[in-house]
Amino acid sequence: MSEIYWVFGFHAVNAVLQRQPNRIDELWLQQGRNDQRMQDLLQQAKALGIHCKTVARQELDEQAAGNHQGVMAKTKPAQTLRDRDLKQLLDTLEHQPLLLILDGVTDPHNLGACLRTADAAGVDAVIAPKDNSAPLNGTVRKVACGAAEVMPYIQVTNLARTLQDLQARGIWITGTAGEAEQSVYDADFSGAMALVMGAEGKGMRRLTRENCDFLVKLPMAGSVSSLNVSVATGVCLFEVVRQRGGQSAEAGI
């Protein structure tokens, strides 16, 4: 019997409907909710041949690990993607790509938090090296609160080569490093770009750093020398969102 995962919230469920509807076994909708947003989601699901079930809010509350907003999808688990999937994703994008690259982030809690932040900021995909990164396991899914089900997580065989391939597509690579001269707030994030975050303590690996077009830093005013990688990722990504006029992310807290 295949493992079942719950995806909840309008944004997450709608993303699965649009990108991977074959993963959805059943859609649960809160009884008594007949607003336009719910009706649009219901019509989309029915058009795709997905079975929809109306349930009491209590049933949704019991299944969800967070704010379900009255909608949940019972799904098959998302699969980790590989190099060819990144190429396919980039070939189909109709806007300037925004990518997050995690170099050596092996803690599943940090990966889950980064996926959640990436989804909120409108990132198109999260990329990591296959042999030096956290797997997409249950801990990651729980911490990500649904984002792991909709955010493409692509583990590549050779990260340095992937960075070079991205540059060949006109995507600028911006790495984060404490010794960088430029602040993240002074950088230009308006075009196609990939943000590289290194592992806590060690930072980016040498070869990764050498393949970056720019290096930026977060200005630190206190006694600590660095932030948790997921916190730093959030700060950097939402500076990108700010520079792009806030259009990458949905309003919400």
Tokens encoding 61 = 């509350």
Go through the domains of the chain in sequence order and give each one's CATH number.
5-75 (3.30.1330.30), 83-243 (3.40.1280.10)
pLDDT of amino acid 136:
85
Rounded to two decimals, what is the model's pTM?
Answer: 0.77
Tokens encoding 252 = 């919400």
pLDDT of amino acid 248:
45
Query: What is the mean pLDDT of each successive set of 10 residues along the chain, which is 253 residues long?
Result: 74 82 93 92 94 94 83 84 94 95 95 95 96 85 82 95 97 92 93 93 90 91 75 96 71 43
Backbone angles phi, psi at 52, to 5 degrees: -115, 140
pLDDT of amino acid 222:
66
